[in-house]
Chains A and B, each alone.
Chain A
Amino acid sequence: MGPKMENLLEVKAIEVNFTKGRETLQAVAGVSFHVVEGETLGLVGESGCGKSTTGRAIVQVNPASSGSVLFQGQDLAKLSRSELRKARLGMQMIFQDPISSLNPRRRVRDIVREPLDIWEIGTEHERQTKVDQMLRDVGIDPETSGDRYPREFSGGQCQRISIARALIMEPKLLICDEMVSALDVSVQAQILNLLEDLKERYGLTLVFIAHDLAVVKNVSDRVAVMYLGRICETAPSEDLYRSPRHPYTAALLNSIVEPDPESPIAAVTVIGEPPSPINPPSGCRFRTRCPIAQDRCAQESPELRETSPGHAVACHFPLNN
């Protein structure tokens, strides 16, 4: 396939801890994955699994306390403050809450222009042209909307503006942190389609973080499933759907409610509630809810192991479909 198949992003065994008083919460407990240039990696899991924290660790907002994040081959932790500032331009993030992502006291044009002003790119006129073009690309009319404030827009439109701001510096990597979770279904569809279009036009690489497996599968080439700070399974989307190997992935797939009254209601295969991340279970963290857990699962933490090309599972007794 040629030299383009390098890893744009490599995450190696990162850990992110939050301390509150005397308690330490290990939000991310040893996560590793890579993202090839031009692909979309989906990161999926339920609340508390650490997926958003992972996203923020990548963009160095909550830097990892150990492990490394390599972007375009550079270890971000080893960069100086000014080098980091520059390197970060190559990766941008879109957030979950469309309203809180935009400064309520600034006009739309100024919000999208901000990166150009900070880095002093181009002349005044060039900046204006670029902003208007970017707004049009995301489906916002600069003439009627450019001078307005975020409160005058709907959730979907606010997300479009956020995307425009993120893409104006032409980053290579875009981290989408639950970016459609707060939107209505019909608006969600618009934004997802827009994302695909922009990905092609700008040659982006995406890390798409969400809790909705159907949405993630529609968008991603490969999917990584997270549970309580660790990755359970990584596979190409279709493989993950057809032959999930990890019991948690299988449970997630079973819980999906299809809008089809004829489809049978699958039996719930997971027991109880997720444990507290402050005191995670020993060994495999999923064992307290796993229908096939054994003694070994409590004693030994399973490593992520490849069972077939591109498909890796962290389980002592992976499912065999």
Chain B
Amino acid sequence: MAERELQFPSPARGELLRVEDLNTAFETPRGLVHAVNNVSFSLERSKTLGIVGESGSGKTVLSRSIMGLLPSAGVSNSGKVLFEGKDLLSASPSEMRDIWGARMSLIFQDPMTALNPCTRIGKQIAESLRLHLKLSAKEANLHSIELLRQVGIPSPGERAEAYPTQLSGGMRQRVVIAIAIACAPRLLLADEPTTGLDVTVQAQILDLLDELRSEREMAMILISHDLGVVATRTDEIAVMYAGRIVEKAPTKRLFANMRMPYTEALLQSTPKIENPSHTRLQTIPGNPPDLSKISEGCSFAPRCAYVTEQCRTQTPPLRQNGTDSTHHFACWNPLGTEA
């Protein structure tokens, strides 16, 4: 498969993405909404980071901020997003256009709105190839059919002529994935890629993403509200609440040793298939936070079972879990401390 490498500065080591103190706020009639607050993390090449949070946690705004896809009006950004050494927040629109699709791609939640209903799918894939890799129409067509085959669409030659409305939800998502990986990006952001798809199809799509990632040595950020989806398919997990990262650790370690009460509460309120019928679920009392009000102290305090006065007045910083430099959490009274 012909590929031309674009000229880009590459760091010596394996770090692909570094986000430093990212803040994103929106102006709304209700006031300033702080969707992302002081988020920092880094991602190495070929690794998968899972970002977990409920609605209002800021995870979608985070992915858009990293990609630089937010509107410029009414949005304020601060901090750094260093991708292959380059700060994306200060990049010009034309620089960003070189990056989108070619170095960094995004898969959206709803495949129906991500695809143009009036254009055949083969053409939609070819568009990216022609733009970034400067292939001719004929080369691009052949490439698209090959990509459709790689994402598991049967009879790719025929299907390339189909319109998105003629495909099922799972098929459409595969096409979206094909478009996203067409130019072999180094980083793939998948924002709830399986939500809304049938359960049996979800597993297939997640398998596909795994396969493609390891074949192409792509790094991936997998965003989901479902702990189950991220539990088995990620190297590291970051849990978000009210725009902040409240816990971050390698996946296995996170599940083995949760420190932040929200993470545990989230896990416990998920119904499990082994539970007998009429099991009473653990709940998190109260409602998700209102992001237009920046509160003092920990944003989870109103709903936390272990809350103390300190939690209400001081925002806990992200700190290391003892000597483990890979596990961070933000809590004054983490689980596992003596009372």
By a beta-carbon cutoff of 8 Å, the part of chain A in contact with chain B is 40, 46-47, 154, 156-157, 184-190, 192-193, 196, 211-215, 217-221, 237-238, 241, 251-263, 265-266, 268, 270, 272-274
Contact = CB atoms under 8 A, between A and B. Distances in A.
B59 interface: no
6 contacts: A186-B266, A187-B288, A254-B203, A258-B273, A268-B203, A268-B207
B54 interface: yes
Nearest to A241: B273
Interface in B250-305: 251-252, 255, 265-267, 269-285, 287-288
Given A154-B287, A190-B283, 18 more contacts: A185-B227, A185-B266, A186-B269, A189-B270, A192-B271, A192-B281, A212-B199, A214-B271, A218-B271, A218-B272, A237-B277, A252-B199, A257-B206, A257-B228, A258-B232, A268-B200, A268-B203, A273-B201
B62 interface: no
B75 to A, nearest CB: 24
Given A189-B283, A259-B231, A261-B251, A213 B203 contact: no
B76 interface: no
A218 B198 contact: no
A47 B200 CA distance: 11
Interface of B: 54-55, 154, 168-171, 198-204, 206-207, 225-229, 231-233, 251-252, 255, 265-267, 269-285, 287-288
A186 B272 CA distance: 14
Contacts of A40: 277
A189 B281 contact: yes
Say what secondary structure dominates the interface of chain B: loop
Given A218-B281, A268-B203, A259 B270 contact: yes
A221 B279 CA distance: 11
Contacts of B232: 257-258, 260-261, 263, 265
Given A185-B269, A186-B266, A221 B277 contact: yes
A255 B199 contact: yes
Nearest to B275: A218
A260 B250 CA distance: 13
Nearest to B237: A261
Nearest to B227: A259
Contacts of B284: 186, 189-190
Contact of B199 (A193, A220, A256, A263): A256
A214 B273 contact: yes
A186 B283 contact: yes
B327 to A, nearest CB: 14
Contacts of B267: 259
A187 B55 CA distance: 11
A252 B271 CA distance: 16
A213 B273 contact: yes
A304 B128 CA distance: 50
A161 B267 CA distance: 27
